[in-house]
Chains A and B, each alone.
Chain A
Amino acid sequence: MTNITTRQYSLERKKQRYAYTFLIIPMLFYIGIRFYPTFYAFYLSFTDWNIVSKNMHFIGLENYRRLISDEVFWQTLKNTFTYVIWGLPISLLLGFTLAYHIDRVKVGESIYKAMYFVPYITSMVAVAWVWRWLYQPVPIGVFNNLLTAMGLPTQPFLMSKTQALPSILATTIWADLGFQMIIFLAGIKAISPTLFEAARIDGANERQVLFSITLPLLKPTMIFLLITGTIRYLRIFTQVMNMTFQGEGGPLNSTKPLVLYIYTSAFKSFKMGYASAMTVVLFVIILIITLIQMVVTRDEN
């Protein structure tokens, strides 16, 4: 009897041993590629390292002190939140509206789905460059040529301090829409059809079905989209990098998000320490937002 249990036990252990052996590789990878650099960035943020120098001086909180008085930093932080606060609700609302209506389409549902999803799987760099050309002034910009044809005044779009950020945001939402739509659609399809049938038999109208059944049951979907979306919009980069001249985030820093400022500080000005300090700030912001969202979801469940 004892013999059998030990053998079972050792077989179990053997299996585990293999599992761990195989898991070592991704573990090493993650420690080397993700965790170590992340923690190293915390350390770098207290130094004045410039990437090529062999000397790395510990300067304490100097980088953080400079951040507080850096107008560009505050401007980019404000821009980042503008992207999130406007971009996320609009893309969620549009995504849901699309999903809601596509769900009811009888013919050609997959064509509509594909049409709205294609921008999401298109390379953001390509999307950004096409839109950059669309926004150009006359004679090459399509939007401005249309405005002129209709006898309306042309708009500066990317060259204006006030219009540049909304212009880039519009492109982002357009590209992002497909993802929100497809997840919402999956959520709607997952709701048991018997619920809708029962509601209709009870005489509920469209609005009642929407607000009492569809939306409440989509809550987990919405929370998922909210969390992933917030992180995605907080890390906005590619669009601005490609839609403004050589990624300057202009005019006058009006479109520059924090991530782009981090990138230029680190890899153009080579201020690694300073860039790391900004990364730490962004890390803390994302952490706080995620924690808040996690607490909120726990209550909901």
Chain B
Amino acid sequence: MKKSIALVLVALVLLTSLSAAGQADKAAKSEVTEIVYWQYYYETKKNLVDDLIKIFEERNPDIKVIHQTFPYENYNTKVASSVPSGQGPNVINLFYGWLPLYIDSGYLQPLPQDTFPNDRIEDEFFGLVDAAKFDGKYYALPTAVRSLALFWNKDLFKEAGLDPDTPPKTVDEMVEFAKKIAKLDRGGNYLQAGMTLELRGQMHQYLREVLIRQFGGSPYNEDTTKVTYNSKAGYDALQWLTDLERVQKVGIPQYMTDDVTAFSAGKMGITIDGSFRLGTFNALSDLNYGVAELPEMNGVKSNFASFWANGITSTTTGKKLEASVKFLEFLTSDEVMAMWLPAIGELPAKKALALQEEFKNHPMYGPFIRGLDYAHATKFIDEDAQRIVWINAYDEVVLNGKSVKAAVDEAAAIEQKVLDEYYSKR
């Protein structure tokens, strides 16, 4: 017995020393600094970043960037679970809504002030990058941002007797057009939907940042520590949205599983979606559509913007930190942003670049870019939980017959709890 245990031990010792030797060997060889970059897998993004890394490495021969991607569906889980194991990247691409969690946990380090001074960031970037600022420090910066716009199906407009080249300018017009497009059979089933009602898609963002503001309210207080939509504006907004299904009969949620499928199939007249959807719709040759700015109401324009931002992990120090800062500087340069728009369909994060006439008046990107000017990026704490409160509020009204006021108040109470739990620990 003793002999065999000894054997196992010897084998273990041998194995560990071998792998240690291997690592030492690797370290000795590399005079260049290696840094690791993580993002989620999206084919065009992966390819573009691969090309960008080649350019970067040519200019900085002493730096080597290792690019690793993970499936989008469980990217956040992958990143989070890599933290306790102590393994991970130097530069990382994160959704801005996840930043509070990672910053509070000490996963990211603040961007160095000498390379990225606050006043320069605030001067050059769109105001919505404020969502990456915590306790007066910026922790991450985007290459590109995304906003919402209205997509309309020109063929369905024509069929309904509408001008295929005139999108709705106001919210009332949007509903009026949608009513003309919606087709129901005798049993009340939709053969064709007028417009999207997809809270599970982008409509919860639309409700929170656009509708509530257009009804004269605001979703949160100044520092987003308090929910403020449990007010007349909030009630009016949910009333308006639930009326679309119950009174105006322009569509139902989850029509053909979701609005992207329905619009792609030419079964939905109007949808509201992000700039990232252009790629999906452009791939469909028989889909004849246009893009317009979100319609206004009561003279108020609003939009929701979001972004993926690059930050540096706090375990990165010394030469690797220097290299990471250089790489981040490169990723947020005008040069990269200009390449990003045509390749990915995401908008430049810097004002001067985005608002160039060429981009601003582009038939596809233009509406999104103009929307950025008045867009808000919700400071999410737990995006999943904060999204579901609106989905449930809608279902409570439509499926459960709850009053709009009670449903909104309940949503506000649940979301407030999420916020309190987070801010009480800070």
Contacts and interface: CB of A to CB of B under 8 A. Distances in A.
B258 A51 contact: no
B358 interface: no
Interface in A115-146: 132-133, 136-140, 144
Interface in A248-294: 248, 250-253, 264, 267-270
Interface residues of B, number: 41
A251 B399 contact: yes
Contacts of B8: 21, 24
B392 to A, nearest CB: 6
A193 to B, nearest CB: 51
A292 B269 CA distance: 58
B62 to A, nearest CB: 31
B399 A50 contact: no
- What is the interface of chain A mostly: helix, strand, loop, or mixed? loop
Contacts of A268: 76-77, 384
Nearest to A266: B77
Given A20-B1, A52-B83, A154-B187, A250 B101 contact: no
Contacts, number: 92
B189 A148 contact: yes
B200 interface: yes
B399 A54 contact: no
A132 B388 CA distance: 21
A51 B83 contact: yes
A136 B4 CA distance: 62
A252 B392 contact: yes
A144 B101 contact: no
Contacts of A133: 257
Q: Which of A21, A52, A153, A248 has the most CB of B within 10 A?
A: A52
B41 interface: no
B385 A137 contact: no
A167 B1 CA distance: 58
Given A52-B101, A52-B105, A148-B187, 15 more contacts: A17-B4, A20-B4, A50-B101, A50-B105, A51-B81, A53-B104, A136-B256, A148-B189, A154-B187, A245-B200, A245-B254, A248-B200, A253-B392, A267-B80, A269-B385
B391 A250 contact: yes
B56 interface: no
Interface in B68-83: 74, 76-77, 80-81, 83
Given A20-B1, A248-B388, A252-B392, A153 B187 contact: yes
A161 interface: yes
Interface string B83-116: 1100000000000000001101111000000000
A246 interface: yes
Contacts of A248: 200, 388, 391
B258 A245 contact: yes
Interface in A38-80: 50-54
